[in-house]
Structure 1
Amino acid sequence: MNFAFVSGSVALDLVGTVQSRRDDPLDLLTTSADLSEWTASSGVLDDPATATRADLAAAVRLREAVYRLMLASAEHAPYAPEDCAAVNRAAAPNPVRTELRPDGTVRRQGTVGAVLSTVARDAIQLMTETPELVKECAAPRCTRLYVDRSHRGSRRWCDMTRCGNRAKAALYRSRHA
């Protein structure tokens, strides 16, 4: 699986495991092996955690709750209590354990539950501290949410090498047609 980590938030990167939500949704987390791979690829853990079907179900519940909460936040709408409960449940266990080593490196260890706790805590922090920075990609088919930390707050695409480049190429083609 080829996961993209371009959102500027591990919580939003988890949300991004569903592509093209409005048109033709593609879920990248369909098996527990996919979730194990995501935990390793995300950089939250140094080594992949072995996920179970129950872990996958919990990850999908968290992902969808975070997505709905982020949309509600952007629209200044109240949060659905069941979505808050799902995020709070995921945040409750201990997060990933980090350990500073004498050589200056950091070791990250934990279970899938610890990863989901870390993701949920990241979502809570984002929604409570800087919700105005969360945006949706301007590409027509992309539904990825990202944190806009650009100097002017004018970032339009989740990733310049993907959506931004396609949009600029399409604009160029339309101007020179």
Structure 2
Amino acid sequence: MTPSSPPSKPEETRDGFRFRGGRLALDLPATLAGRVSGQHRDALAAPGDLDRWLVAAGLSTEGLTDGASGASVEDLLAARALREALYALALARAEGRPPPEAPREALNAFAAQPAAAPWLDASGRARLTGDARALLTSVARDAVLLLGGPEGERIRQCQGPTCAILFLDTSRKGDRRWCSMSACGNRAKVAAFRGREKS
């Protein structure tokens, strides 16, 4: 398992968290809702929320890995800082701008920390082992490869009027507009239909 591989559950929403980005480096920024409206709702409000996100993301099986302690307040603050650095960098990439310096330096510093180790368990499944910080470092390292690699050209921001979710456009034509067809895409279709009915 790597941070870029999807968890076994394909649902877009798991344990209250949105996973529409196609990469965990784009899903972590989605834990802060209300970016467009300015009425922020932080899904990472407490250390236990970070543990839950790590499980929902498929990085941890029970919020704890091989006896490692759960997330601390310091881990939570680090996760929020990483989240904001990832959002700033991915948004810049989506808009064709150079990476902003402070978020770039923050990401590089995070990615330089010790990361979670891959582990083959007794059932033959691959997973990551480490504490919350090490698991987040694995996400940061994958983010460096995403943002600095060719796939970075396919980072998009959802065109939903109230949505700020960033996603990796894996469509053949590279013209995906919505973070999710069942959410923002459907709302746009309904709005367009109603607009045609009125006219």
Cα distance in 1 for partners of 2:189, 2:142 equals 32
Choose from 142, 148, 152 the match for 2:169.
148
- 3-state SS of 1:164 partner: helix
Pair 39,101 (structure 1): closer, same or farther in 2 beyond 3 Å: closer
Partner deviation per Cα, 1:70-95 (whole Å, 9 max, x = no partner): 12223333333321221122112232
Cα distance in 2 for partners of 1:59, 1:101 equals 27
In the TM superposition, 1:23-172 aligns within 5 A as 23=37, 24-49=39-64, 50-101=70-121, 103-129=123-149, 130-172=151-193
* Alignment match, 1:11: 25
Structure 1 residue runs without a partner (length 5+): none
- 3-state SS of 1:120 partner: helix
In the alignment of these two chains, the number of paired residues is: 177
Cα distance in 1 for partners of 2:20, 2:86 equals 17
With 110-119 and 54-63 compared, the bigger mean Cα shift is at 110-119
With 127-136 and 74-83 compared, the bigger mean Cα shift is at 74-83
Give the TM-score normalised by the residue count of structure 1: 0.91
- 3-state SS of 1:176 partner: helix
Cα distance in 2 for partners of 1:115, 1:102 equals 21
Pair 22,54 (structure 1): closer, same or farther in 2 beyond 3 Å: same
Give the TM-score normalised by the residue count of structure 2: 0.82
Pair 36,103 (structure 1): closer, same or farther in 2 beyond 3 Å: closer
CA contact (8 A) 2:59 2:127 kept: no
Cα distance in 2 for partners of 1:73, 1:41 equals 26
With 151-160 and 78-87 compared, the bigger mean Cα shift is at 78-87
Q: CA RMSD in A?
A: 1.7
Q: Percent identity?
A: 39
- The one-letter code sitting in structure 2 at the alignment partner of 1:77 is R
Structure 2 residue runs without a partner (length 5+): 1-14, 65-69
CA contact (8 A) 1:46 1:109 kept: no
CA contact (8 A) 1:70 1:127 kept: yes
Cα distance in 2 for partners of 1:46, 1:96 equals 13
- 3-state SS of 1:146 partner: strand
CA contact (8 A) 1:96 1:115 kept: yes
